[in-house]
Amino acid sequence: MAVLRHPRAPAVLLVIGILADIFLFVRPHTAGDVGLYHQYATNFWFGVPPFHALPAEYPPLALLTFTLTLLPPVHDYAIVFAIWMGAVLCLGLWAIRRVEGRDTAIAAGVYLALGAFGTVLARFDLVPSLVALAALWLAYRRRWGWASALLAIGFLLKLYPIIWLPLVIIEQWRTQGKFSWRPLIVFVSIVGLGMSAAAMLSPDRWLSPFEYAMARPPQVESIEASLLWLASGFGVAAHATQSFHSRNIVS
């Protein structure tokens, strides 16, 4: 136990965990999400014509993360992507340690190991999550414009960080005693620029992420799916199905 109390023990355990994740979960499942990321990146950069094929279900900025599957351009792209995500994970935990403290960073690492050990390096969710977390840190420090800018970047990565924009606006209103349009203007301006670029690159697919989200059933891990599953015990018709690249609940 004395070894575990060593100041560098968490870092050593983190590296061991990343290597175990790569060889136990990432390498045997290259056809999963990482395979889709690689396909999207390849189609965008090397399609005919190039720079026009945007992802079907992700906003345009997600392509920057997907491009990591091509850097370097080797056959085992799943491991390449996992190494990149491992670096992002290390950076994120380092930032949490700097901002929230060592105990919080250790807790975050433990929670990720318990809840997402098989997926944390095989998906790009770490990137929008850490962007959203940085936005909340800035909001706590009353840097409303920068917080809104990061939420906009998070939205252009994976849509859902928009749910924190009303909280930033309300918190600024509460602390300053007056309503300000600045967070909303910053958010809309950055998102507008990003989506305008997507519209110019792919006029027929730039709205695809929104159409995809509207058509997609609730994923099994979502709150809505959990409620449907519970309701099925009371006569509501609900069953699991494989569609939209995920396991979903439909009724």
Q: What is the pLDDT of residues 42-65, one digit of tens each?
A: 999 999 999 999 999 999 999 999
Q: How far apart are CA 23 and CA 18, in angstroms?
A: 9
* pLDDT of the residue at 226: 82
* pLDDT of the residue at 25: 84
Q: What is the pLDDT of residues 145-160, one digit of tens each?
A: 999 999 999 999 999 9
* Peptide bond between residue 28 and the one before it cis (omega within 30 degrees of 0): no
Residues 49 and 201: beta-carbon distance below 8 Å: no
What percentage of the chain carries pLDDT values higher than 90?
65
3-state secondary structure of 219: strand
Q: How far apart are CA 26 and CA 31, in angstroms?
A: 10
Q: What are the DSSP E strand ranges found in the chain?
A: 239-243, 246-250
In this prediction, residue 3 has a pLDDT band, given cuts at 50, 70 and 90, of very low
pLDDT above 90: residue 6:
no
For 143, the token pair is 């840097």
Closest CA to 116 of 18, 191, 223, 205: 18
State the burial class of residue 197 (Cβ atoms within 10 Å of its Cβ: 0-12, 13-18, 19+).
Answer: middle
Mean pLDDT in residue range 96-118 = 93
Q: How far apart are CA 246 and CA 147, in angstroms?
A: 31
The overall average pLDDT reported for the chain is 90
Distances (CA, A) of 33 to 52, 205, 246: 21, 20, 9
Q: What is the pLDDT of residues 195-250, one digit of tens each?
A: 999 999 999 999 999 999 888 888 887 788 888 888 888 877 888 888 887 788 88
Q: What is the pLDDT of residues 22-41, one digit of tens each?
A: 888 887 766 678 999 999 99
Residues 122 and 33: beta-carbon distance below 8 Å: yes
The single-letter code of the amino acid at 251 is S
**CB neighbours (10 Å) of residue 173?**
13
Mean pLDDT in residue range 102-106 = 93
The dihedral over CA atoms of 214, 218, 219, 223, expressed in degrees to the nearest 10, equals: 130
Name the pTM for this structure: 0.90
Percent helix, strand and coil across the chain, each to the nearest 5: 70, 5, 30
Residues 176 and 162: beta-carbon distance below 8 Å: no
Judging by DSSP bridges, how do beta strands 239-243 and 246-250 pair with one another?
antiparallel
